[in-house]
Structure 1
Amino acid sequence: MIIGFLWVLFAAILLGFYAFPSKYVKGYDVENTWGVFWLLAMFIVPVLASILLVNGLMDTYAQVPTSIYVSIFFLSLLWGIGNLLWGISISKIGMALGFSLLIGVGTLVGSVLPFFMGNIEQLATPGGMIIVFGILIIMVGIILNGKAGLLREANESSSSGTTNKNMKMGIIMCVVGGICAAGFNLSYHVADSIGHIGDISQNQYANSPWIARLAVMLPSFIGSGVITVFYFAYQLSKGKTWVKFAVPSSPKNIVLIGLMAIVYVTSLIIYGLGAYSLGALGTSVGFAVFQTGCIMVANILGLFSGEWSQAGDKSKRFLYSGLSVMSLGILVIAFGNYMMS
């Protein structure tokens, strides 16, 4: 169990760092950077890695019912829609509130629903109830963290630049996006716990657990990739920014974006390994820890990089309180999972 938690926390750290190279991308508009990123992260990197590393990949998939792939594709489509809705909503409500809403709603939906997808009997056990209680504690911490972000934005800017209508629409889009983004965890749960892709890959074709996670994850990338890549292709055509790929810095940019995609995909695969190591409720326990760890890492990095230097004491108190409460929630979840092990 401890190893599983460490894997999940490591995955959260990687996810917190993956976008850092984008600071050094020059000459690209948003749609250039993120269009290339999603193409690499959803298709090229996972497909190449799976083909090169996974033994018996297609033979494994041939043993899984078509209905499983239909479910995975639909859930991964939701994941892609969630990513896009969040990206649009932060322009209306700001990064702090948008990030907290997306992570909060996604954590709640993505952690609780796996109980109802083959593990409902464990919900009523003492360990299961403690895990749910821990998830609720984490939600309180995320709310405190969101409040800290709102106070920070208020201190750093005298006017928000958004109307009430934009704010309401942005909040609605972000909440819906958070629900949809949980499709990633649910698609993984269907592939591994219901479709047993990981078990087949490990037991029949002698793949190690982390390589078997590639086989589990690959179908989950397809639907999300279809949504995100087509959206950014549309934005590139609409803004006539395809020509930006011809800038002199483009080769360096592609390398940086490729690094982002590798780190992003690696973080998801390591999360899958951690969820597998945590046992039957790994997708409930692991996802809560993964999402919470990500938001904690992002804020801690922000503290060290000076992002909160002008936030004000009240904002920092909410931030520290939120981080402390989320840490407590992780400990409670760990205890609940220990009781069920």
Structure 2
Amino acid sequence: MGIGIIWVLLAAILLGFYALPSKSVKSYSLENLWGAFWMAAMFVVPVLAGVLLVNGLGATYAQVPNNIFISILALSVLWGLGNLLWGISISKIGMALGFSLLIGISTLVGSILPFFMGGFDQLSTPGGLVILAGIFVIMLGIIANGKAGLLREEGNEKDAESSKKNMRIGIIMCVVGGISAAGFNLAYHVADNIGHIGAISQEQYGNAPWIARIAVMLPSFIGSGLATVLYFSYQLSKNKTWGQFKAPESSKNIFLILIMALVYCASLIIYGLGAYKLGALGTSVGFAIFQTSCIMVANILGIFTGEWKSAGSKSKNWMYSGLAVMAVGIVIVAYGNFMLA
């Protein structure tokens, strides 16, 4: 279990760093940058990894019922739509509130629902109740973190603050996006805990656990990619920015985007390995720790990059309090899982 938690924490750190190379991408509009990224992250990298690394990939999938793949596809498309809705909503309500809403709601939904998808009998056990208590504590920390971000942004001129209608629409989109984004964890749960793709890949074809996670997650990547790539293709056509891919900096840009995609995919595969190591409720425990750690990493990076330099003491105190409460929540969730082991 300790190894599982370490893997999940490592995954969160990688996810916190994956977008850094984007700061060096030049001459690309947002739709070029993120359209190319999602194409690489959802199709190119995972498909190549699956074909090159996983033994018996096609034979493994042949043993899985079609209804499992339909469920995975539907949930992963929701994951992709959740990412898109969040990206749109932050332009209306601001990064701080949008980030906290999306992560908070997706953490709650993605951590609780797996209990009802094969682990309901453990919900009322002492360990299950401790896990639920830990998730509640984590939510309090996320709320405190959101409050810190809102205080930091006070006084900034934002579209979200100039229009109550925009704020209302943005919050609705973010809430729907948060629920949809939990599709990532639920798709993984269906693939591994219900479809047993990982077990088939390991036991019948001799794949190492981390390689088997590629087989588990590949259908989810493709489902999410359908939503995101289609959206950015539309944006590229609408804004007539396809030509920017011919810019002199394109070779460097594509290289940086591939690095981003590799780190992003690696973080999710490592999360899957951590959830697998955490046992029967790994998708509940692991996802709560993963999402919470992502927020903590983002805040810590923000401190080192100067994002909180001009923030007032009240904002910083809320932020530090939120980090501390989230850390306590992680410990409680981990202890609950230890009680079930």
TM-score by length of 2: 0.99
- The one-letter amino acid paired with 1:298 is A
Q: How does 1:22-33 map to 2 (within 5 A)?
A: 22-33=22-33
3-state SS, counterpart of residue 154 of structure 2: helix
1:161: Cα distance to partner? Answer: 3.2
3-state SS, counterpart of residue 7 of structure 1: helix
Q: Which residue of 2 aligns with 1:172?
A: 172
CA distance in 2, matches of 1:176, 1:86: 9
CA distance in 2, matches of 1:147, 1:230: 35
1:123 aligns with 2:126: no
CA distance in 2, matches of 1:24, 1:97: 27
Q: Which residue of 1 aligns with 2:92?
A: 92
Q: Which residue of 2 aligns with 1:306?
A: 306
1:222: Cα distance to partner? Answer: 1.4
CA RMSD of aligned residues (A): 0.6
1:305: Cα distance to partner? Answer: 1.2
3-state SS, counterpart of residue 159 of structure 2: coil
1:223: Cα distance to partner? Answer: 1.3
Q: Which residue of 1 aligns with 2:271?
A: 271
CA distance in 1, matches of 2:224, 2:61: 19
Identical residues among aligned pairs (%)? 71
Q: Which residue of 1 aligns with 2:159?
A: 161
CA distance in 1, matches of 2:243, 2:311: 39
Kindly report structure 1 stretches of 4+ aligned residues shifted beyond 3 Å.
Answer: none
- The one-letter amino acid paired with 1:175 is V
1:252: Cα distance to partner? Answer: 0.3
Deviations 1:152-184 (A, max 9, x none): 1115x2x33331110111011001000000000
CA distance in 1, matches of 2:285, 2:14: 19
- The one-letter amino acid paired with 1:330 is I
Deviations 1:282-337 (A, max 9, x none): 00000000000001001001001111001110000000000000000000001100
5+ residue gaps, structure 2, are none
Q: Which residue of 2 aligns with 1:58?
A: 58
1:204 aligns with 2:204: yes
Q: Which residue of 2 aligns with 1:141?
A: 141
Contact 2:91 2:159 in 1 (8 A): no
1:119: Cα distance to partner? Answer: 0.7
Contact 1:154 1:160 in 2 (8 A): no
5+ residue gaps, structure 1, are none
1:48 aligns with 2:34: no
Q: How does 1:10-25 map to 2 (within 5 A)?
A: 10-25=10-25
3-state SS, counterpart of residue 207 of structure 1: coil
Contact 2:159 2:166 in 1 (8 A): no
Deviations 1:113-150 (A, max 9, x none): 00000110000000000001100100000000000000
Q: Which residue of 1 aligns with 2:334?
A: 334
Contact 1:114 1:186 in 2 (8 A): yes
3-state SS, counterpart of residue 86 of structure 1: helix
Deviations 1:96-121 (A, max 9, x none): 11111000000000000000001100
3-state SS, counterpart of residue 55 of structure 1: coil
Q: How does 1:181-330 map to 2 (within 5 A)?
A: 181-330=181-330
TM-score by length of 1: 0.99
CA distance in 1, matches of 2:129, 2:232: 42
3-state SS, counterpart of residue 325 of structure 1: helix
Q: Which residue of 2 aligns with 1:114?
A: 114
